[in-house]
Amino acid sequence: MAGEPQADCLFCKITAGEVPATVVRETATTIAFRDINPQAPTHVLVIPKAHYPDAGSLAAADPQLVADMLRETAEVAAEDKVDATGYRVVFNTGAGAGQTVFHVHAHVLGGRGLNWPPG
């Protein structure tokens, strides 16, 4: 069923506490944790606890949960004090765009200059 935990999913395992993570925020519906291979001084992943493979499938199934995630990206940015200098929220979607974990996640990147367009 849509949203149900997937046995082979790394981020479902983090949600279940089966894989450790440096959690910075948690709500009823979301978890935010530091990326294990940070690409910026602030590099936090915000995920829904429910499993959806990518942003589009989540939006189609549960728009409120998209709002929950985006609200949390702003909270993370404020807590890491990158809100004033600017930060980027990225949803890599599909292997060709660099998605490697197929449990939707928002990258929150900040604390350094961010080029546009991104690579």
Residues tagged active-site: 105
Which one of ligand AMP, Zn ion, none interacts with residue 100, CB within 5 to 8 A by kind? ligand AMP
Q: What are phi and psi of 90, to 5 degrees?
A: -125, 135
92 binds ligand AMP (CB under 6 A): yes
Q: In angstroms, what is the minimal distance from the CB of 60 to ligand AMP?
A: 19
Write b or e for each residue in 75-91: b if 16 or more Cβ atoms lie within 10 A of its Cβ, otherwise e.
bbbeebebeeeebbbeb
Q: Which candidate, 3, 15, 107, 7, places its Cα nearest to that of 60?
A: 3
Q: Looking at beta carbons only, is 43 or 105 nearer to Zn ion?
A: 105
Binding site for ligand AMP (CB under 6 A): 10, 19, 21, 33, 35-37, 45, 92, 98-101
